């Protein structure tokens, strides 16, 4: 076991205010040692861009023996089972969390095509654009300026691309706002849709079946609460689990470890806000159809 003075340390930077691009949350990470970072990546209800600030960047191991570095994108649910890891040494990088409601407009690919995977941003944006982003970020020392550069890029890309159906953006916002404590039948009824119709269109455009999306959003909140030291029984009750055993099963399925093992995990604690507490809403009110 490493001694306390050799534990890896993240410096975390956040913008002063919310993103001006709905559905986007950006953060900056700096690994300042003294030991290299080697940390499990747990799944989130978002697609995540890892953008290197200059040369180098984190390396992501997907749990199958494949490793990738540079500018990367992880799909919804990436890391389920606990085998995926992030490794870094003396690097700076930006984390951009994308709501699946806008991921298609930014990445140019359906979220369902990236479910549970990690791919190079070169393959989605092209090598030239991807390299230019890292070059610009590396030449900028200010985190606030870096945040502005990324948001300007995402705003341009999302403005010209097709959006998902407004009913599905609304449904996703409801799931996130209620932190995964909604019933799919209730969402379908509010939209005036059949459960089958909601399932098919939600899966096609958001990238997950509605029930799994609900489960992933609920887990995201619970994992954050556990990581900051809340008792499992309290987390189970407040996050909408039927009992503590239900919470235990979900945490093991998503992370490969028990709820007690999440307390004190450095990467989770560094980025200690669940998605539901950060994301600006994408959709709005919809008329039943």
Tens of pLDDT, residue by residue over 126-165, are 999 999 999 999 999 899 999 999 999 998 888 766 678 9
Domains of the chain as residue ranges with CATH: 4-160 (2.60.120.10), 166-277 (1.10.10.60)
pLDDT at 36 over 80: no
Give tens-digit pLDDT for 188-219. 999 999 999 999 999 989 999 999 999 999 99
Residue 54's pLDDT band (cuts 50, 70, 90): confident
Chain centre distance of CA 22: 14
Confidence of residue 281 (pLDDT cuts 50, 70, 90): low
Task: Quote the pLDDT of residue 88.
Answer: 81
Instruction: Give the lowest-confidence range in 10-24, 41-55, 136-150, 209-223.
Output: 10-24
Residue 23 has pLDDT above 90, yes or no: no
Q: Is 70 exceeded by the pLDDT of residue 69?
A: yes
The whole-number pLDDT of residue 2 equals 37
């Amino acid at each position: 076991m490493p001694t306390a003075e050799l534990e890896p340390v993240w410096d975390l930077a956040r913008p002063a205010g919310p993103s001006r691009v709905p559905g986007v949350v950006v953060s900056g990470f700096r690994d300042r040692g003294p030991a290299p970072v080697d940390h499990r990546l747990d799944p989130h209800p978002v697609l995540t861009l890892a953008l290197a600030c200059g040369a180098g960047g984190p390396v992501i191991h997907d749990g199958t023996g494949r490793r990738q570095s540079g500018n990367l994108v992880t799909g919804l649910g990436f890391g389920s089972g606990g085998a995926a890891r992030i490794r870094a040494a003396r690097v700076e990088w930006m984390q951009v969390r994308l709501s699946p409601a806008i991921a298609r407009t930014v990445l140019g690919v359906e979220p369902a095509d990236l479910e549970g995977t990690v791919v190079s941003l070169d393959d989605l944006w092209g090598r030239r654009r991807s390299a230019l982003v890292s070059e610009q970020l590396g030449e900028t020392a200010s985190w606030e300026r870096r945040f502005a550069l990324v948001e300007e890029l995402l705003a341009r890309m999302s403005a010209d691309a097709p959006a998902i159906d407004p009913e599905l953006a609304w449904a996703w916002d409801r799931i996130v706002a209620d932190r995964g404590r909604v019933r799919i039948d209730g969402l379908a009824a509010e939209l005036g849709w059949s459960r089958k119709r909601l399932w098919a269109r939600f899966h096609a455009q958001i990238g997950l079946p509605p029930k799994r999306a609900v489960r992933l959003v609920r887990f995201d909140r619970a994992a954050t609460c556990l990581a900051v030291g809340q008792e499992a029984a309290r987390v189970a009750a407040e996050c909408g689990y039927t009992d503590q055993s239900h919470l235990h099963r979900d945490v093991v399925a998503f992370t490969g470890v028990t709820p007690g093992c999440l307390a004190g995990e450095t990467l989770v604690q560094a980025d200690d806000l669940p998605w539901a507490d950060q994301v600006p809403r994408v959709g709005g009110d919809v008329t039943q159809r």
